[in-house]
Amino acid sequence: MNNQPKLASGYKIWIGLTILGIVINIGLLTMFGKDWKTVSQQQKQIQELTVRINTQQELNNQQQTLNNKFLILDNFFVKGESGVAAVAQKLEQTADNLGLLLSLTFEDFPDKVDINGVYQQGLGIAAIVEGSYQAVSSWIQQIEKLPYFISFTEVEISPLRLSSGIKAEFSGTIFLKNEQ
C-alpha cells in the first residue's frame, strides 16, 4: 500500500516538457498569428481585386454599349473656337433660310456656368433676329433642335420701326466642352 502522497520521479521531466510546450506554443501562436494576419490581408486583397475586375468588366460592357451614344451626346457640347464658329454659321444659315436678319454677339471668353451645382464651360451669346413673327418663331424652334446645347434665357421683343415684323433679342449660353 502506498497511500501517502509522494512525488514521482518523472515530474521534473514533465515540468520541463510543460515549460517547453508552453514556449513552443507561444512561438507557434506568434507565427500562426502572423500567418493569420497575412491570410486575412490576402483575402481582403482578393476581394478588392475581384471587385475591381468586376467593375472593369462592367464598365467595359457599358463602354461597348453606350460609347456611341455618349460620343453623340458629348458632341452636343461645342468644342473650342472652331465649334463656336460652326454654331454661328448654323445659326446664320438657319436665319438666312427663314429670311431673317441675324446679328450675333459672343462674350470674349467662355466662363464656368453653375448648373444646379454642376459647372460647365459656357459662352455668352446674344442673337438679334429681325423679321416676321412666324419666321422668328420658326428660327428659335429650329435652333432648339440643333445638335448643340444652346440655352436662351431672355428674349426682348420690339416692333420694327420701318416695316412690319418684330425684332427679337435672344440672350443665352452656348455650352462648351470642358477642358480636360
Partner 1 sequence: MPKKSALGLLIDDVHLEALELKPSKGKFSITNYVWSRLPPGTVKAGKVINSKILASELKKLLQAGRTKSFKGPVVLGLPQSQVFLKVFTIPKFEEKELNEAINWHVDSLKPVLPQNAHTSYEVIEKKPNYDVKVLLAAVPQEVIDGYAQTAELADLKIDIIEPLALSKARLINPQRLLNKSIISVHLYQNQLSVSVLINTKLWFSKEIFIPSGEENNIRSAVSELIKFFTEKKNKDIVNASEIIYSGDNHGLDRLKTSLVGFKLPVVQAQAGVMLIKSQAVSDVQSTSFTPVLGLAVRGNLHQKGLINLLPEWPKAKAEILKLIVNLSKAIVVAGIIAWLNIMVLEVLWWQFSNKKQNLSEQIAKLEVQLNEQKEKELLTWGKQFNQTTKTAQLIEKSKIDYTQVFARLSASLPLTVKLTSFKYQPFVGKWSIIGIADKREDVLVLDKALKESQFFSDARLYFSSLESNQGVVFRFSGGKL
**Which residues sit at the interface with partner 1, rule CB under 8 A?**
1-8, 11, 14-15, 17-18, 21-22, 24-25, 28-29, 31-32, 35-36, 38-39, 42-43, 45-46, 49-50, 52-53, 55-56, 59-60, 62-63, 66-67, 70, 73-74, 76-77, 114-116, 118, 120, 137, 140-141, 144, 149, 151-159, 175
Least distance (Å) from partner 1 to the CB of residue 164?
Answer: 13
Specify the residue, 22 or 85, whose C-beta has the smaller distance to partner 1.
Answer: 22
Phi and psi at residue 148, in whole multiples of 5°? -135, 155
How far from 51 is each of 54, 56, 61, 124, CA to CA, in Å? Answer: 5, 8, 15, 44
CB of 88 to partner 1, least distance (A): 19
- Nearest alpha-carbon partner for 127 in 165, 160, 95, 80: 95
Q: Nearer Cβ to partner 1, position 53 or 85?
A: 53
Report in angstroms how near the CB of residue 111 gets to partner 1 at its nearest.
Answer: 15
Single-letter code of the amino acid located at 65: T
Report d(CA 31, CA 150) in Å as an integer: 67
Rank residues 45 and 93 by Cβ distance to partner 1 and give the closer one.
45
Q: What are phi and psi of 54, to 5 degrees?
A: -65, -45
Q: How far is the CB of 179 from partner 1 (least distance, A)?
A: 13
Do 113 and 173 meet the contact criterion of CB atoms below 8 Å apart? yes
Question: Which C-beta is closer to partner 1: that of 108 or that of 114?
Answer: 114
User: What burial class does residue 105 get, using C-beta atoms within 10 Å of its C-beta: 0-12 exposed, 13-18 middle, 19+ buried?
Assistant: exposed
Report in angstroms how near the CB of residue 17 gets to partner 1 at its nearest: 5
